[in-house]
Amino acid sequence: MRRQFVSYLAGLLTIAATLLATPPSESAGRFLNPVEWGPYPVGVTTTMFVDHQRTDAYTKEDRTLVTEIWYPATDDARNLPKNKFSNFIPGGVTPQFDTLIKVAFKKPVAEIDEMFWNHAVRDARVREGKYPLIIFSHGNRGLRNQNTFWCDYLASHGYIIISADHTANAAVTVIKGKPIFFQAKERENSWHDRPKDLIFLLDQMALWNGGADSRFTGKIDINNTVAAGMSFGSMTAIRVADADPRFKAVIAMTGAPEDHSNLNVPSLYMLGTEDRTIGVKGNDQIRANYIKHIGPSFLLELKNGGHYSFSDVFKIDKNFGDGIGQGKRHATGEAFNYTSMEKTYLIINSYSIAFLGYFIRGESQYLPFVLKNQWPEELILETKGIEKSQKTSNN
């Protein structure tokens, strides 16, 4: 009897030790307030993926993607120095690159570093847990790091976000020490390359999750992957969900293709009423995508928003226009102030968290938030495809 008890006790200790050695994801099964910064510090790292199965139409070499990754970090990152704008430049700031930045932003890199804010720590340790994956696609002539306001926020809530420069469509990317600039003539090639880029990135992250990168081994929830993007990247996100069923949801900011075929994937569409880049026609195209959609979908429209409301441009130029500072209304030409970026970021981030919490994490507590217009003075919100029983049970 005593021997049996000792064996039983040893078994219990073994089980306990196993549970302690392999902690579950801290964010799994946990409701986090969408309007508050998440509980996790944020890390960011740069890597480079090479697709040996594709030849880049512009470089004539294997398709190469300089890629940024944001992720939940360990607690020691809370007290470490935050990432700088210049840290996003592979190989550091050369005199040539500093000149390019001055031309693009009318400021040297050192001045932008002083203005630019973010919450991530460069190369911080990856937190234990398993986190859903979001693959973000930047805008035409954009950058992989153009939406740090959003990537940081989502990572703090327990998501891994990956974003690559779409080579020759990004404003500039650096490969093998050589800057490759935006090429207007490559837009058609980029239209075809972009969805393939996102699919390739998903394949690479599956390899990392399986052990190709020890930092992320077993920490990426590949089965819950989201396609997201802004402007041209928004079109990319919608199209890649058409092409690959592994993408389980879409967040599309300020852009939509003329048509789409995956009408059931949960989708969050966003636009700015006073967008002067895609204009009235582009906004109508977003609304048409929403109207055609059958599955769960949300249309979030910032009444006093523009194209760059959905980007980091505010961090560099507070009077940029088209979503930032002051603009003129489409209909009347009347001058007005765009919604403050502090509030704009809060709206975009909180609805993203609530949408992901319900459709990716399966947490029902998030649904009431995403169904309700939380800022009726600034926002028009439409919803469809949510069963009445779901709405009732979550009110």
- For residue 16, is pLDDT > 50? no
Q: Does 22 have pLDDT greater than 50?
A: no
Q: What is the pLDDT of residue 79?
A: 95
- Mean pLDDT across the stretch 97-125? 90
Residue 19's pLDDT band (boundaries 50, 70, 90)? very low
pLDDT (tens digit, 9 = 90+) per residue, 287-302?
Answer: 999 999 999 999 999 9
What is the rounded CA–CA span in Å between residue 112 and residue 105?
Answer: 9
Judge whether residue 157 has pLDDT over 70.
Answer: yes
Query: Which pLDDT band holds residue 102 (cuts at 50, 70, 90)?
Result: confident
Residue 13: per-residue pLDDT = 35
Per-residue pLDDT band for 391 (boundaries 50, 70, 90) equals low
- Interior/surface letters 240-273, b for 16+ CB within 10 angstroms, e for the rest: bbbebebbbbbbbbbbbbeebebeebbbbbbbbb
Model confidence pTM above 0.75 = yes
The alpha carbons of the chain give a radius of gyration, in whole angstroms, of 22
C-alpha to C-alpha distance for 301 and 131, rounded to whole angstroms: 29
pLDDT at residue number 387? 75
Average pLDDT over residues 72-76: 98
pLDDT in tens, 230-255: 999 999 999 999 999 999 999 999 99
pLDDT cut 70: percent of the chain above it? 91
pLDDT digits (tens, 9 = 90+) for 321-330: 999 999 999 9
- pLDDT confidence band for 394 (50 / 70 / 90): low
Q: Of the CATH numbers 3.30.565.10, 3.40.50.1820, 3.80.10.10, 3.30.1370.60, which one belongs to the domain with range 33-83+118-393?
A: 3.40.50.1820
pLDDT tens-digit series, residues 349-372:
999 999 999 999 999 999 999 999
CA pair distance 103, 68, nearest whole angstrom: 24
d(CA 304, CA 377) in angstroms, rounded, equals: 10
Q: Which residues of 294-319 are buried (b: 16+ CB within 10 A; e: fewer)?
A: eebbbbbbbbbbbbbbbbbbbbbbee
Assess whether pLDDT exceeds 80 at residue 21: no
Task: Measure the CA–CA gap between 380 and 388, rounded to whole angstroms.
Answer: 21
Please, which pLDDT band fits residue 26 given cuts at 50, 70 and 90? low
